[in-house]
Amino acid sequence: MTLLGKAFAGAATAAGVGLLLLTPVSATPTHDRQATLEFGVNFRPFQDNYVDIGGPGFTVGDLLVFQDELLDRKGVAVGIQGGTCTITAFLPDGVQTHCVGTASLSDGQISFQGLATDAPVKPLAVTGGTGKYQAAAGEVILTEHGDGTGTLSIRFTRGPSQN
Protein backbone atom coordinates (compact mmCIF):
# COMPACT_ATOMS: atom_id res chain seq x y z
CA MET A 1 0.00 0.00 0.00
CA THR A 2 1.31 3.48 -0.84
CA LEU A 3 2.09 6.33 1.54
CA LEU A 4 -1.10 8.23 0.81
CA GLY A 5 -3.02 4.96 0.79
CA LYS A 6 -1.78 4.19 4.30
CA ALA A 7 -2.21 7.77 5.43
CA PHE A 8 -5.80 8.14 4.28
CA ALA A 9 -7.25 4.63 4.28
CA GLY A 10 -8.98 5.36 7.60
CA ALA A 11 -8.41 6.73 11.08
CA ALA A 12 -7.22 3.34 12.31
CA THR A 13 -4.23 3.47 9.95
CA ALA A 14 -1.97 5.51 12.24
CA ALA A 15 0.50 2.62 12.17
CA GLY A 16 3.54 4.45 10.86
CA VAL A 17 3.60 6.42 7.66
CA GLY A 18 5.07 9.81 6.89
CA LEU A 19 6.96 11.74 4.25
CA LEU A 20 10.40 12.01 2.80
CA LEU A 21 13.30 11.32 5.18
CA LEU A 22 16.01 11.32 2.54
CA THR A 23 19.36 9.64 1.97
CA PRO A 24 21.41 10.96 -0.97
CA VAL A 25 22.57 8.25 -3.33
CA SER A 26 24.24 10.30 -6.09
CA ALA A 27 24.52 13.61 -7.92
CA THR A 28 25.26 13.32 -11.62
CA PRO A 29 25.96 16.58 -13.51
CA THR A 30 25.59 16.69 -17.29
CA HIS A 31 27.11 18.96 -19.94
CA ASP A 32 24.40 21.67 -19.82
CA ARG A 33 24.17 22.18 -16.06
CA GLN A 34 21.57 19.46 -15.70
CA ALA A 35 22.02 17.14 -12.75
CA THR A 36 20.19 14.42 -10.87
CA LEU A 37 20.22 13.94 -7.11
CA GLU A 38 19.06 10.51 -5.87
CA PHE A 39 17.93 9.88 -2.30
CA GLY A 40 16.70 6.89 -0.34
CA VAL A 41 13.51 7.58 1.65
CA ASN A 42 12.46 6.44 5.14
CA PHE A 43 8.99 7.65 6.14
CA ARG A 44 8.23 9.37 9.48
CA PRO A 45 5.29 7.92 11.49
CA PHE A 46 1.87 9.13 10.33
CA GLN A 47 0.76 10.25 13.79
CA ASP A 48 3.65 12.76 13.80
CA ASN A 49 2.46 14.27 10.48
CA TYR A 50 -1.35 14.19 10.36
CA VAL A 51 -3.37 17.32 11.26
CA ASP A 52 -7.16 16.80 11.38
CA ILE A 53 -8.51 20.20 10.29
CA GLY A 54 -12.14 19.55 9.31
CA GLY A 55 -14.68 17.11 10.67
CA PRO A 56 -13.62 13.94 12.45
CA GLY A 57 -11.55 11.57 10.32
CA PHE A 58 -10.12 12.21 6.89
CA THR A 59 -11.76 15.16 5.14
CA VAL A 60 -10.87 17.63 2.40
CA GLY A 61 -8.50 20.22 3.89
CA ASP A 62 -6.77 17.87 6.34
CA LEU A 63 -2.97 18.07 6.28
CA LEU A 64 0.13 15.96 6.40
CA VAL A 65 2.86 18.23 7.80
CA PHE A 66 6.34 16.80 7.43
CA GLN A 67 9.78 17.81 8.74
CA ASP A 68 12.43 15.20 8.08
CA GLU A 69 16.19 14.86 8.34
CA LEU A 70 18.16 14.42 5.09
CA LEU A 71 20.89 11.78 5.19
CA ASP A 72 23.70 10.69 2.91
CA ARG A 73 24.08 7.07 1.82
CA LYS A 74 26.04 6.33 5.01
CA GLY A 75 23.24 7.69 7.20
CA VAL A 76 24.99 11.00 8.01
CA ALA A 77 22.67 14.02 8.29
CA VAL A 78 23.16 16.46 5.39
CA GLY A 79 20.08 18.68 5.82
CA ILE A 80 16.34 18.72 6.40
CA GLN A 81 13.20 18.94 4.32
CA GLY A 82 9.70 19.89 5.28
CA GLY A 83 6.34 20.83 3.89
CA THR A 84 2.65 20.04 3.75
CA CYS A 85 0.25 17.91 1.74
CA THR A 86 -3.38 19.04 1.82
CA ILE A 87 -6.21 16.64 0.96
CA THR A 88 -7.91 18.14 -2.11
CA ALA A 89 -10.21 15.30 -3.23
CA PHE A 90 -11.32 11.76 -2.56
CA LEU A 91 -10.79 9.44 -5.54
CA PRO A 92 -12.33 6.00 -6.20
CA ASP A 93 -9.07 4.35 -5.05
CA GLY A 94 -7.82 6.82 -2.39
CA VAL A 95 -7.10 10.51 -2.10
CA GLN A 96 -5.52 13.34 -3.99
CA THR A 97 -3.32 15.83 -2.16
CA HIS A 98 -1.53 19.02 -3.12
CA CYS A 99 2.01 18.91 -1.71
CA VAL A 100 4.49 21.75 -1.19
CA GLY A 101 7.93 21.15 0.28
CA THR A 102 11.52 22.32 0.53
CA ALA A 103 14.74 20.37 0.88
CA SER A 104 17.39 22.39 2.76
CA LEU A 105 20.99 21.35 2.13
CA SER A 106 24.30 22.99 3.11
CA ASP A 107 24.63 24.57 -0.36
CA GLY A 108 21.03 25.83 -0.70
CA GLN A 109 17.37 24.90 -0.76
CA ILE A 110 15.24 23.15 -3.40
CA SER A 111 11.49 23.80 -3.42
CA PHE A 112 8.91 21.49 -5.00
CA GLN A 113 5.14 21.10 -5.36
CA GLY A 114 2.42 19.20 -7.17
CA LEU A 115 -0.61 16.94 -6.97
CA ALA A 116 -0.10 13.43 -5.62
CA THR A 117 -2.33 10.36 -5.38
CA ASP A 118 -2.04 6.89 -3.87
CA ALA A 119 -0.03 5.70 -6.89
CA PRO A 120 3.46 4.53 -5.85
CA VAL A 121 5.18 7.00 -8.23
CA LYS A 122 4.55 10.67 -7.49
CA PRO A 123 5.93 13.30 -9.91
CA LEU A 124 6.26 16.83 -8.51
CA ALA A 125 7.72 20.02 -10.01
CA VAL A 126 10.94 21.67 -8.83
CA THR A 127 9.73 25.26 -8.41
CA GLY A 128 12.98 26.99 -7.49
CA GLY A 129 15.76 27.18 -5.02
CA THR A 130 18.38 29.21 -3.22
CA GLY A 131 22.19 29.17 -3.12
CA LYS A 132 23.58 26.61 -5.56
CA TYR A 133 19.98 25.82 -6.60
CA GLN A 134 18.74 29.41 -7.17
CA ALA A 135 18.00 28.83 -10.87
CA ALA A 136 16.64 25.32 -10.32
CA ALA A 137 13.83 23.86 -12.38
CA GLY A 138 12.96 20.25 -13.06
CA GLU A 139 11.10 17.33 -11.57
CA VAL A 140 11.00 15.43 -8.29
CA ILE A 141 9.96 11.78 -8.53
CA LEU A 142 8.99 10.07 -5.27
CA THR A 143 8.66 6.30 -5.60
CA GLU A 144 7.22 4.31 -2.68
CA HIS A 145 8.29 0.72 -2.20
CA GLY A 146 5.35 -0.18 0.08
CA ASP A 147 7.53 -1.10 3.07
CA GLY A 148 8.07 2.33 4.66
CA THR A 149 10.94 3.12 2.29
CA GLY A 150 11.29 4.57 -1.16
CA THR A 151 13.42 6.69 -3.45
CA LEU A 152 13.41 10.36 -4.31
CA SER A 153 15.00 11.61 -7.51
CA ILE A 154 15.50 15.32 -8.17
CA ARG A 155 16.12 15.82 -11.89
CA PHE A 156 17.18 19.34 -12.75
CA THR A 157 16.49 20.73 -16.22
CA ARG A 158 18.11 23.99 -15.10
CA GLY A 159 20.57 24.38 -12.22
CA PRO A 160 22.28 23.65 -9.90
CA SER A 161 24.95 26.23 -10.59
CA GLN A 162 28.57 25.18 -10.94
CA ASN A 163 29.78 27.72 -8.35
**pLDDT tens across 71-125, in order?**
778 777 787 778 899 999 999 999 999 999 988 889 999 999 999 998 999 999 9
For the chain, the average pLDDT equals 76
**Is the backbone peptide bond immediately before 120 cis, with ω within 30 degrees of 0?**
no
Mean pLDDT calculated for residue range 46-71: 84
Q: What is the pTM of this model?
A: 0.76
Pairwise pLDDT comparison (88 vs 150), residue with the higher score: 88
Question: Residue 52: which pLDDT band, with cuts at 50, 70 and 90?
Answer: very high
